[in-house]
Amino acid sequence: MPDALPPRVADAATQRGLGQLVYARKGTGSLGYFFFFLAVTVGLVAVAGAIFGLIYLANESDTSLAAIAIVCLLGAVVTAIYAVMGLFRGSTAHYIFERGLVQTRRGRPDVITWADLDEIRQIWGSGLTAGKMLLVQVVTFDGRIWAVETFPCGEAGATEMPDRLADIAGRLGRPVLRRPRLDPKEPELVGVAEPPSKILVFGLLIGTAVLGFVIHAIGVPGWLAATLSFWLVGVVTRLAGNRYGRVIRALGWLWVVIGAFTFLGVVNDLLPINGWVATGIGVLFEIAAFRVLRRALIGALPMLGARTRRGFAKANGWQWVGEAPVALPGPYTAAHLQNVPAGVPTAPGHAVIRSVVSGMPVMIFDRIRVKPGLTDRPQTAWFVQLPAASPLHVPGMATSPIVTPDALAVAATKGFPQQWWIEGDMLCAARDGDDRTGTDPRFLPYYTQHLAAFAARLNWSALHHSPVAS
């Protein structure tokens, strides 16, 4: 914690009535980001150089090794861009006060009061960083996302700030999400197996070549035809990856990046100027195009998820409602749904479907942020209408006389939602989406069946002997 509070931070906290300082921590500075990504860039270039050197010394044309080297070089270009962006990022610091949080970037403060807090996201590592929290994102109702680093990972006190934020969110009743999700009760789904990577790459290359020849045959110049074919195949592959796995999603992005490189050839052919200047113009155009593509994906992916949800409803005899206001059973539910301020009586529902399961009305809907980002995921909620109102029951926090040992045994089985509660006459559950399209539709029947089985084991006769919460 710093010895003295910066004057700008103190003024901002006073103006917003945040109270006394509780904890503070400086984030990674601009030079830290620059040297980190520069080191990664140098490492990737070294790996690519070593692979090409081995191929040259062996005097063989190993396409598999060459492909790995090319991917390393493409990765080096991306990390080099991030290194340059890091220089302009600015240093950050975070200050926790009694009634809010202040973030400074390049010395300029921004304020979040605890009433603004929507959720906390914990980003955990994998592979070499497995079991370590890498980053925490503080998300507000108006769409702001602040990143709080835990670097260097594993050091004493590295997670003290994130732990304090998670504790505050818990006391406020706001969700604390872990990504990637760690849910021991998640059902194991049997989906479409991903074909081997070599077959995928070969198929994409053939498809891109055929599309490129077709586009060129209708009069489009060669470089532009190659660019359009890589981009079209890449975008379609990226969207298909939402259903068929992360390898396909990654290949989609790789094709988009390759298309970006071929586009530089288009610019150099079209502009009769210095090659470096033409390349710079091409890069600026691609940055603008990427921002447009990013905004388009932000809008398109939830729509793709809604279309998939509609197909599920049609195939399983559910009623498709679409967009509709959803009545909330109480303040606890409002506080645990994404982007819903505490205490509101209703919230907009996205991709709403209804049915009757085991004699009980069931509604499934998504909550989407007002100002979503590309990394935001819709939250899927289940509402099961119960025969009567019950006292609030939250696992591990409260007890209700109607919840029997048999019902709790169902709640402990695989396939039952990890986050669930009973409020009023509604059994509720919520789940963070698998990606930007929302929850995989194959999870819907698992959770619905388990929630219905849980509700069927509730002891309603116990209400005659216990007061009902108003």
User: pLDDT tens digits for 183-229?
Assistant: 555 555 544 444 555 667 778 888 888 888 898 888 888 878 888 89
Candidates 3.40.190.10, 2.60.40.10, 2.30.29.30, 3.30.870.10; correct CATH number of 7-179? 2.30.29.30
Q: Which residue has the higher pLDDT, 342 or 101?
A: 101
Read off the pLDDT of residues 251-280 as tens digits, 9 standing for 90 and up.
888 888 888 878 877 787 778 878 778 877
User: For residue 427, is pLDDT > 90?
Assistant: yes
Read off the pLDDT of residues 76-100 as tens digits, 9 standing for 90 and up.
877 887 777 777 767 788 899 999 9
User: For residue 156, is pLDDT > 60?
Assistant: no
Confidence of residue 362 (pLDDT cuts 50, 70, 90): very high
User: For residue 111, is pLDDT > 90?
Assistant: yes
Spatial distance between the Cα atoms of 218 and 212, rounded to a whole number of angstroms: 10
